[in-house]
Amino acid sequence: MKRMMMIALMAVVTLMAGAENYPYRSDYLWVTVPDHADWLYKTGEKANIEIQFYKYGIPRNGEVTYTVGNDLLGTDTKGTVTLKNGRAKINIGTKKTPGFRDVVLTMKLDGQSYTHHVKVGFSPEKIQPFTQEPKDFNTFWQGNLDELAKIPLSYTKEIAKEYCTDKVDCYLVKIPVSRRKQCVYGYLFYPKNAQPGKHPVVLCPPGAGIKTIKEPLRHKYYAENGFIRLEIEIHGLDPRLPKETFDDISRAFNSDPTGYLENGIDNRDRYYMKHVYLALVRCIDLLTSLPEWDGRNVAVQGGSQGGALALVAAGLDKRVNLCVVNHPALSDMAGYTEKGRTGGYPHFNRMTGLYTPSNISTMAYYDVVNFARKVKATTYMTWGYNDNTCPPTTSYAVWNTLNCEKESLITPINEHWTSDATEYGQMVWIKKHLQ
């Protein structure tokens, strides 16, 4: 009997450990419920939001101050509301042009301030990008691709035993991408005992920053499901370097206004991201040269800057037939130059003097919306509304520009993150759409 009770107790503890409430280990919880279930309204239509506040799961009363403004464009409305039984309603008005309104809530309780925000959209399907395609956009990039093609593919490859498992083989590769000997590193994952001509390939570019390749095995399920996957960095830094070294390099070379996304932005030929965009094609050259490639399927997958680079790769390289994107950065970057318009990460409006005519001209050659116009690959895109890094306004600008077969997974509550389940589901989506 005691053994049975112990087993039951262990089972309860295990269930409790695996069933944490959202948000993770927080004493308090905001709940915001727009009166349209999809959080979307037509322009000119009024939006109402019920707010709820709980501490220890108990509704709490008190005064909530709130501000309202257009997506990342500051506050234009302020007010207060009183919670009764932990609940209240706010009428946030409307928006006359397509876009998003952001409501920021603050509750003071027990000597602390608790904040939360929620964005709702108004006819976002009508959002169009500010950024226009330069007349010589295709010529510029084709010329660069032609130059890249003149450089023979080469790379080094060494076993990375620390990331090999009973189902996965892993190699560290170093890939030159220009005559200036610029390169990228990556971890190349194979299914154990990979067979010639049997495996689709997936390129995974990174999010923004100067950092190592984080937790290389976190997406090992790609190789376990028969994919060859290349996860890269973009700065030519060996991912085996200590974190402290990456931190030192980032502080030295990635601090505003000298960060890599501003480096050389006054000239389209010298801009830092030029070799990064071309590196994507060179990585696909490597993947499609592997004898184990199935000869048909090339997927790209990434989030934030990685999502931007996935779309760039799909726009530049017609070998890509599947494209998976989370909340893409580098989208409609010059949008802020039009009054009342939201722009995309890296939010150059926050950096004094960045919006010069030459810089804006360069941005257009590197803006993701102009690559989205070229994408023919079947595309799966995910974004959330509460994202303040890659705002929903610019995600819709990309989505509405895509003129390919496409599917979306919209997760309104998400900020700048995707869940493990969503990311695994993207692998499942790719597998389902293989040719």
What band does 257 get if pLDDT is binned at 50, 70 and 90? low
Q: In Å, how far from its chain's centre is CA 169?
A: 27
What band does 112 get if pLDDT is binned at 50, 70 and 90? very high
Find the mean pLDDT for residues 199-215.
95
Would you state the pLDDT for residue 178?
A: 87
* Rounded CA separation 32/116 (Å): 9
Would you state the pLDDT for residue 10?
A: 37
Q: Is the predicted pLDDT of residue 19 greater than 70, yes or no? A: no
Find the mean pLDDT for residues 243-269.
91
Helix (H) / strand (E) containing 301: strand 293-303
Q: Is the predicted pLDDT of residue 280 greater than 50, yes or no? A: yes
Share above pLDDT 70 across residues of the chain, in percent, rounded to a whole number: 94
HSE-up of 386 (CA within 13 Å, CB side)?
A: 13
Q: Is the predicted pLDDT of residue 136 greater than 50, yes or no? A: yes
Would you state the pLDDT for residue 24?
A: 72
- Catalytic residue numbers? 304, 387, 416
For residue range 373-429, what is the model confidence (pLDDT) as tens digits? 999 999 999 999 999 999 999 999 999 999 999 999 999 999 999 999 999 999 999
What is the set of domains in the chain, with CATH numbers? Answer: 23-125 (2.60.40.1930), 137-432 (3.40.50.1820)
Q: Is the predicted pLDDT of residue 138 greater than 80, yes or no? A: yes
Q: What average pLDDT does the chain have?
A: 93
Name the packing angle between helices 137-149 and 273-289 (round to 10°).
Answer: 50
Would you state the pLDDT for residue 180?
A: 82
Would you state the pLDDT for residue 255?
A: 80
* Rounded CA separation 233/252 (Å): 18
Q: Is the predicted pLDDT of residue 246 greater than 80, yes or no? A: yes
HSE-up of 315 (CA within 13 Å, CB side)?
A: 26
Would you state the pLDDT for residue 413?
A: 93
Find the mean pLDDT for residues 229-253.
95
Lookup: tokens for 341 = 């318009």
* Rounded CA separation 345/47 (Å): 27
Q: Is the predicted pLDDT of residue 17 greater than 70, yes or no? A: no
Find the mean pLDDT for residues 185-214.
96
Q: Is the predicted pLDDT of residue 285 greater than 50, yes or no? A: yes
Would you state the pLDDT for residue 22?
A: 52
Would you state the pLDDT for residue 1?
A: 39
Q: Is the predicted pLDDT of residue 182 greater than 50, yes or no? A: yes
For residue range 301-345, what is the model confidence (pLDDT) as tens digits? 999 999 999 999 999 999 999 999 999 999 999 999 999 999 999
What band does 13 get if pLDDT is binned at 50, 70 and 90? very low
Q: From start to end of 8-86, where are the E strands?
A: 28-34, 40-41, 47-55, 58-59, 62-70, 77-83
Residue recorded with tokens 């610019």 = 394
Residue recorded with tokens 């990635």 = 254
